[in-house]
Amino acid sequence: MLDDTLKAQLGAYLERVQHPFEIEASLSDSENSREMLELLQTIQGLRADKITLKTDGNDARKPSFTLRRAGAATSLRFAGLPLGHEFTSLVLALLWTGGHPPKVEQETLDNIQALDGDFDFEVYMSLSCHNCPDVVQALSLMAIYNPKIKTTVIEGGAFQEEVEKREIMAVPMVFLNGQVFASGRMSVEEIVAKLDTNSAAREAAKLDAKDVYDVLIVGGGPAGAAAGVYAARKGIRTGIAAERFGGQVNDTLAIENYISVPETTGPKLAAALEEHAKAYEVDIMNMQRAAQLIPAEQPGGLIQVKMENGGTLKAKTVILSTGARWRNVNVPGEAEYKNKGVAYCPHCDGPLFKGKRTAVIGGGNSGVEAAIDLAGIVEHVSLIEFADQLKADAVLVTKLRSLPNVSIHTNAQTTEITGADGKVNGLKYKDRATGEEHLVPLEGVFVQIGLVPNTEFLRGTVELSKFGEIIIDAKGQTNVPGVFAAGDCTTVPYKQIVIAAGDGAKAALAAFDQRRLAVVDIRQKPPGAGHALDGISGAGAAALDARSDAHRGLRGGDDHRRMAARTRLHRLSVESSGARMGLRHAVAAERGPVRRLRPGYLHLPGPGSACGGLAGAMTRATGPSVRSAWMLSRARRKRSNTVRVASASRSSSLSCTMA
């Protein structure tokens, strides 16, 4: 059953078992039962001092086995062989039953143990499904840690009659106490939250209590993860609020185009992204879905993001990386027969259509790859493409055309998915050239027509394209000050993982630059600031504002931007009428008398540059800051002692020219 290498790896894992437990198997004389017995005997032999094997079980599902810790009333059963993608689920179940701690937050374990009631879960999975392990592992953990929870993991291929009787046409499919509970990928936190009706209010209160973030990222896919890492590396307070970390990457099986990683899977990449972000102490808030973006009331103010659970997060800058989801065909029958023949993941649900007729809607890379994969499982595949030719890569199209059980229909518009008795039985399409309608008899339809951005909550707040994508500039800036965006939810072309990650990094750097040059409020006089602060604030002056673009308020003014980039004009704004006089007094207090050259110009004493002198005064007046360090850095490269200020002493702006 297991080769020597796998046995050695399994043996190393089983060394972590701390408490004795037993495996009770219910077997028949079938081939599947023989294979299960062989597997269980191997497991028991690798850790005979802690694991006891019994073969006298009488469960109705055969073959199956139960894991039960000695002295504990836990109930976790596997029906069918948990191999393929589920072998990891089996190994984890063995370790957890044996007392090895799971890699989940203690709060999650506490919430599992606090669940009260009778919960009998049945989860149907397939060995080729890469979404199933998350659900299987979550429900296994819950059964091990709460005696009121019973979990049975059922491999659909071993119990086909049961699958057909319950009309299961998509996995993972979860039943609770005999009724459909959920389908699709779910984390343990999501399942617990669905069972605990008070969890939403508690989570909302936690969010409300969070401190203000320098950068808040909404969405945890490749763009959000990269933004989180790049922002946190700058030493600023960074948070990521995500519905599920990894986003749509979790639903991707094979990834072979992420540079430097020849091959990986979506779940593995998603886990690596989260681990990397956590290494920089990014505050990750999972199971959070944004409901509203509230822009700052005034420049430099706080931006708010309201979540669907009622909680609100506050930040100085926000990066939107909400990604995209599978696009629906939006034809009659699609919603009605979802998970009843209409599916979106050929890897997960394909095995459920073994020997049946299916169709794939979409002729791009995803659609053609789905058709190729399905052709090895199902009786026949009909590929339906709206355009007059397939849009997939040539190598994929060549492979598809070589398959004997595939028919290709181009220039075909899907008009309806038909069904009877709660199941799909056909697909109608119209020939766009002739107008003739056709009916394709089948049992399954896989939709692969691209993505739609998750931006509905932004309508009326952030400027969107006609396709619902967030409109951004070259730095990821939206039309809302302080709000950036990156990834598949934006107008950036070519929705690829590597592109999303790069755009996330770019947005984080742009957000940091904005925060670095943002408003510094000195209304509150720091202890020991002395007369320098008094001088620079003048008669109640406040906000120091230095920006790389003095005309940033004139959005869309490319000429202004180019001018600012050439002259490196930086603006220092104060709120009092004594701006120039305040500056003169501040610098004089630190570096000596300030000499006026001509109207509008001052000469700052001492070595270095004008901006260096100003930065020194600011540093001593208000304490070290990112702004001061930046100005001093600029001063080292630009040596000038002349600063141009506003021509009138009553002006509210002072300009430092880095010439």
Residues serving a catalytic function are 345, 348-349
Contact 246, 270 (CB under 8 A): yes
Q: Does the N-terminal peptide bond of residue 172 adopt cis geometry, omega within 30 degrees of 0? A: yes
List own/partner pairs for 480-483 with CB under 8 A and 24 or more apart. 480/293, 480/295, 481/295, 481/296, 481/299, 482/295, 482/296, 482/303, 482/316, 482/317, 482/318, 482/514, 483/293, 483/295, 483/303, 483/317, 483/318, 483/319, 483/320
List own/partner pairs for 112-115 with CB under 8 A and 24 or more apart. 112/141, 112/142, 112/145, 112/146, 112/149, 112/188, 112/192, 113/145, 113/146, 114/196, 115/142, 115/146, 115/148, 115/149, 115/192, 115/195, 115/196
Question: How far, in Å, CA of 155 to CA of 150, rounded?
Answer: 17
What residues contact residue 640 under an 8 Å CB cut-off, 6+ apart?
Answer: 609, 610, 657, 658, 659
Rounded-to-5 percentages of helix, strand, coil across the chain: 35, 25, 40
Contact 144, 113 (CB under 8 A): no
Consecutive H or E run containing 441: strand 437-441
Contact 419, 425 (CB under 8 A): yes
Contact 487, 504 (CB under 8 A): yes
Go through the chain and tell me how many residues it has.
659
Q: Distances from the Cα of 386 to the Cαs of 35, 391, 428, 432, in angstroms? A: 47, 10, 13, 8
What residues contact residue 176 under an 8 Å CB cut-off, 6+ apart?
Answer: 119, 120, 121
Q: Indicate the residue type of 118.
A: D
Contact 332, 416 (CB under 8 A): yes
- Closest to 447 in 3D by CA, of 353, 347, 325, 327: 327
- Closest to 480 in 3D by CA, of 280, 608, 299, 273: 299
